[in-house]
Each structure stands twice: as C-alpha cells, then as structure tokens.
Amino acid sequence: MLKDITRTQEVLTCAENLGLILSKESIELISKEDNWKEILEEFSAEGTFLIEPLALEKKLARTKLAQVVPEKVEVVKKSFVALASERTPNFRVVEEYDVTGKSLSSGTVDDFLRLFRSKFELLSSMLKQRHNLAPIPIKELKTRPKNESVDIIGIVNRKWVTKKGHIAYEVEDMEAKCIVLVMERDKEIMKKAERILEDNVVGVKGAKVGDDFIIIKEVYWPDLPIRPAKLLDEEIYSCGISDLHIGSKLCYEKQLQGFFDYLNGKNLSPKQQERVGKIQYLFVNGDNVAGIGIYPGQLDDLVIKDIYAQYERFEDFMLQVPDYIQVFICPGQHDAVRRAEPQPGIDKEFVPRLSKLKNFHFISSPSWVETEGLKNLVYHGPSVHDLISSVSFLDMSKPQDGMVELLKKRDLMPKYGGKNPYVPEKKDYMVIKEEPDIVWFGDMHCNGYTTYRGTTIINTGTWEGQTDFQKKLGHTPTPCAIPIINLKNRNLIEVQFLREAIEREINE
C-alpha cells in the first residue's frame, strides 16, 4: 500500500515537472506500469499536456506490444531457394464480383425487390438447365388438370408445419404464388424438405391438387453440375489461414509465428522445404484482427485495445510472407469494414505497409480469384452460421457440410432475415454464378475439408483459442492448423503448429 502511494506521488511529481496534467483514472492506470516515467516523457516529447485515459490505454497497448514481441517483428531471411520464386504467378482478382469501392445500395424497398428478383432470375435459369425438370409458370397451374404431374420453380416466401404435421411452403415466381406441401408420411421427402428455407429458390416436381396447390414428389436445387476436378500440369500449391483475431488475449501468436517461419522454410527438412517453396498463393479468409466493440464487454478480452495497433501487429506478421507468394485477404465480421455483406476489402488506412506491396490484395467477402486458371471462391462464411441454426443435420464442427449446402443452393445468402445482415446491392454479389474449383471459407474456427462435384472445399480454421461463448455452445475450435493444396492433383495436407510443425495428409 505504502509502495503504491509512493509510486503515485512519484508519478505526480514527474508529471508536474514535465508540465503534464493527468486525470484520476490516468494516474491509477500509469502508476501500475514499471515504465511509467518513459511513458510520461514520451507524452511530453509529443507535445501532449492533458493525458486522457483513452490515449494512455492506446500508448500502453503499443508499448507492451513493442516490449513483448520484438523478435517476432523481425523479417525472417529466406533460407532456401523456392521454386515459386522462379516462376511468374498467373492470377486475377475478378473485379466484377468484388464490391470494394462499388457499393451503390441506398437500402430502399426497391433495392431489396431488385435483389430478390435478380436472385430468382439467376437461380431459376440454373434450375431450367436441369434435364429432369420441365417447369411451368405458377400462373399456368390453373390450366392443368387435377392430379397431373407438374414442375415449378419458385422462391420460398414462408414455411410452416400444419396441424397434421405436413410441411407447407408458400412459393412464388415473378407473376404468381402457390402452396406446396410435403406430406408427413413421405419420410424421404420430409428429410429433403428440411433443407428448404425461406428465400431459397427451388425446383419442385409434384402433383397438382388444387389451382394453387401442389404436393411435392421431388425437390431440385440449382446445384453444381457433376464434373471432374480441373488439374494443373505443374505442381503449385495454395494455402489458407483465417480468423487470426490479432489483438485477442486468446490469439496463438507464438504458433502463428511458427507458420510464418514455415512459409520461409525455417527449420524444415529439404523435402518439406521443397513443398513449401511451391506455395504461390495464400488465402486469408477474414477476422484478421479481433476488432473493437464487436460484442459487449469485448475490451476485457483484448490484449491490444486499439484497432490501428491490431492491424499494425497483423501487418508485422504478414510482412514476413515471401514476396513471391500472392496474398489475398478478405474481411470478416471482426474487421474494420461494414458488418453487412457483401463486405468490401479492408481499407489501406488500416494496412498502409501491406497496401504498398504488389503481392498483397485486399479483396471483398465474397470474392473470386483466378489462380493458374482455377476459380477460387473466397468468403469469410457467416451465412453458414445461419444455415447451421436452421438445419438440424448440420453442425459447427463440420463446416464443410454447410459449405456444400451453399454450393447446392448456389447462394451465399440462403436466408435473409437471420442473424447475418446483407446490403441490397444493385448487383447480386451473393449468388454463386460460376462453378468454383476451390472454395475457401473461415469464420467457423474449425478446419474442414471435402470435395463436391469437382470442387475442393476448404474451411481454414483459426488462430484463436476457445472463447467463453464457444465453451457455452460446446463448440471446440481447431486452432493453428493450415491446409495446403497441391493444384496438380488437389491433394491436401494439413500442417499443425500448436507445438511444432506436424504435417498430415487429408483424405476426405
């Protein structure tokens, strides 16, 4: 106690000598720091005379950062010759699918109507290509005889369970609406019907039982066509990371440094170095920093409490990526961009050093990037959350299953009005218009891999430990594991950095 009083008096005397004024809160804060004198002298040198608690917290965060991790900021020298450094990368960020700098929505009712109309047109045109579906406009139902087999395409307005346990949907196309019903006794269709959510565009094969009433026999999705995986002649690798949450107390910074050492071939066997040297593309799938004020009481969970300092730290890490690797970084809900989707790329204001580098690309979420002629769909992934909360057979520990659902629906906005907000842009950025070769998601803090109809599906996990919220949900993250994909054969390996770099093959 006496020691505390003496420290406070020392702080006050020093502040007075330097011409500084401190609030009561600032005195308490700074008195806890061993380097209080240097901090006061820094403020004085900067010409600040009134020291507010907020400015002090920022300074303390930056000072701690510099003290704790100076060795991590050091750029690791290239210790081997990487094959990727000797070839010219072939890539393209597909500008027409990137919302960065192009947000035109004014959020009017007309904008929403346009968005849903566009979604219906795009997805119904995919459904019309299905050979086993011969849809008629819903308004023509009246002209068909009762009990005749009919196909329609519609967007789901409403879903409910009847008193007798049947599932009913109100669906509409651009001109008319009708009710479609899944009979409770038809267990197989009941199971498929669980997938149909409000705002989904579906194809239905059924029997007409009334002028605006159909009983479903089969359900069709826009889906991907069945196709073989497109492979390269050359052995080139892509890898992915996400959900770094830099600034969080739970961020595995030491292990993250292990990943950057790995990328630089440090402490690896010649065989490992050979493979690492073939990594030409790195996808970083959002939640790059922990952010500020993302949820109530978040400040207590942060070790870096200033958003600029969080990005500064993020840059310190990313600057270690060898310059022959092309890096594509999308935002997530924790990044300093708008929360609603599609999210624009992170502004250079937050990442001034990386923005100057030619191999760093700040892209939107979602966005499309072509690498060596392969189409990569890059998306942080929050709509998987809404999907998982609506469909019982999906769960957070297998994000790849939710990702397959989105591909079947060809829609990254499968449910409007859930937890995830969307902006009704004049152009539809959320429909999956192309057939992706590789899909990169994050957000679920859980690694997951699978292939679906020629598309490799990758969820890139996290570098943050289990949060209290996840503990309550019973969700166990899989931190510090990165997927690396060989574009020649689509083989995947996962490297785990929790203790040391441990590689394993993925056979999903």
Encode burial over 436-462: b for 16+ CB neighbours within 10 A, e otherwise. Answer: bbbbbbbbbbbbbbbbbebbbbbbbbb
Applying CB under 5 A, does 335 fall inside the site for Fe ion? no
- The candidate with the shortest Cα–Cα distance to 438, out of 369, 384, 506, 495, is 369
Taking the complex as a whole, the smallest distance from the CB of residue 466 to Fe ion amounts, in Å, to 12
Q: Could you tell me which stretch among 9-17, 194-202, 263-271, 282-290 binds Fe ion (CB under 5 A)? A: 282-290
Nearer to Fe ion by C-beta: 277 or 291?
291
Nearer to Fe ion by C-beta: 265 or 477?
477
Alpha-carbon gap, residue 470 to 462, rounded angstroms: 13
Taking the complex as a whole, the smallest distance from the CB of residue 242 to Fe ion amounts, in Å, to 7
Taking the complex as a whole, the smallest distance from the CB of residue 251 to Fe ion amounts, in Å, to 11
Nearer to Fe ion by C-beta: 243 or 315?
243
Applying CB under 5 A, does 312 fall inside the site for Fe ion? no
Closest-CB residue for Fe ion?
287
Alpha-carbon gap, residue 383 to 70, rounded angstroms: 38
Please select the residue that binds Fe ion; options are 33, 151, 287, 335, rule is CB under 5 A: 287
> Is residue 504 within 8 Å of residue 482, measured between CB atoms?
no
Taking the complex as a whole, the smallest distance from the CB of residue 498 to Fe ion amounts, in Å, to 18
Nearer to Fe ion by C-beta: 205 or 385?
385
Q: Could you tell me which stretch among 287-295, 317-325, 398-406, 494-502 binds Fe ion (CB under 5 A)? A: 287-295
> Is residue 346 within 8 Å of residue 331, measured between CB atoms?
yes
Taking the complex as a whole, the smallest distance from the CB of residue 308 to Fe ion amounts, in Å, to 20
- Residue 180 is inside which H or E element, if any? strand 177-182
SS3 for 365?
A: strand
Nearer to Fe ion by C-beta: 368 or 463?
463
Taking the complex as a whole, the smallest distance from the CB of residue 267 to Fe ion amounts, in Å, to 29
Nearer to Fe ion by C-beta: 178 or 251?
251
> How many residues interact with Fe ion (rule CB under 5 A)?
2
Nearer to Fe ion by C-beta: 151 or 443?
443
> Is residue 33 within 8 Å of residue 39, measured between CB atoms?
yes
Nearer to Fe ion by C-beta: 352 or 421?
421
Taking the complex as a whole, the smallest distance from the CB of residue 290 to Fe ion amounts, in Å, to 9
Alpha-carbon gap, residue 121 to 130, rounded angstroms: 15
Pattern 235-264, binding to Fe ion, x per CB under 5 A?
Answer: --------x---------------------
Alpha-carbon gap, residue 301 to 293, rounded angstroms: 11
Taking the complex as a whole, the smallest distance from the CB of residue 18 to Fe ion amounts, in Å, to 42
Encode burial over 292-323: b for 16+ CB neighbours within 10 A, e otherwise. Answer: bebeeebeebbbbbbbbbbbbbbbbbbebbbe
For the residues of 81-108, what is the DSSP string, one character each? --GGGGS---EEE-GGG--TT-------
In the complex, the residues that contact Fe ion under the rule CB under 5 A are: 243, 287
